[in-house]
Amino acid sequence: MDNRIITTEEQVFDIRFWQKVLRLNTSIPAIVDDFDAATQRVSAIPAIRAKYVTPQNEVKYIDYPKITNIPLAITKCPGLKITYPIKKGQNCTLIFSQRSIDNFIIAGGIQNPFDGPDPTKTQIRCMDMTDAMCFPGIITSNETITDYSTDAIEIRSADNTTKVSVKENSLKFLQGNASIEMEEGNITMTAGTINITGTTAVNITSPASVIDGKEFLTHQHSGVSSGGSNTGGVA
């Protein structure tokens, strides 16, 4: 536990106040140590050590213990969710609840704080490390994102070669040299090879279908034999 160094005797109240405050946990950056995809629970180690001053006035920095069984916080609403791959070693933020979250995590909804077998003798936990919630992702100076978009929401790979980019008036899918871009009601597709498979049919409805600069439905071929004519269109 951190100790606040206060030297004047007149500050006894301050000493006692800070001793209480330093027992409270609000939030802290942490490093993911393990993730259970089935239960969506995280184990994490706080990334900032505790400062302790010994009675001999010696300063020590102590690692906090690993916190286990932390519920993962993601972006979600009824029927829709955004999930993230959670990997060991990645940064996260731990938020500590002002009341115990055991009953809420088990059942959801509005719950009483966990009281134990005898509520009359149980002290309610307040901002305790055991009541952490994990929010993935903190950008540190040594892990800044290259080509960070300032005008779009993106889901992307670290090297920016695979991404979904959403702007106010456009949507773009990119994977290597292949892309699909939607803007102003139009779709542009670019790829080395485009394969379309319809198990029943492939239907194209358009007043004009142009392929390689030629109108697909009305253009004529010459030098072909079709019935009694040497020209023919596309039926």
Measured distance CA(69)–CA(130) in Å, rounded: 9
Measured distance CA(219)–CA(235) in Å, rounded: 11
Domain residue extents for the chain: 1-144
Bridge partners (DSSP) listed for residue 221: 232
**Which pLDDT tens digit goes with each residue over 41-86?**
999 999 999 988 888 889 999 999 999 999 999 998 999 999 989 9
Bridge partners (DSSP) listed for residue 116: none
> Is 6 a residue whose pLDDT tops 90?
no
User: In this structure, which amino acid lies at residue 39?
Assistant: T
For residue 40, the number of C-alpha atoms closer than 13 Å in the C-beta half-sphere is 12
**Which pLDDT tens digit goes with each residue over 108-138?**
999 988 877 777 777 788 889 999 999 999 9
Tokens 């009694």 belong to 228
Question: CATH fold of 1-144, please?
Answer: OB fold (Dihydrolipoamide Acetyltransferase, E2P) (2.40.50)
**Which three-class secondary structure state does DSSP give residue 8?**
coil
Percent of the chain with pLDDT over 90: 59
> Is 188 a residue whose pLDDT tops 90?
yes
> Is 12 a residue whose pLDDT tops 50?
yes
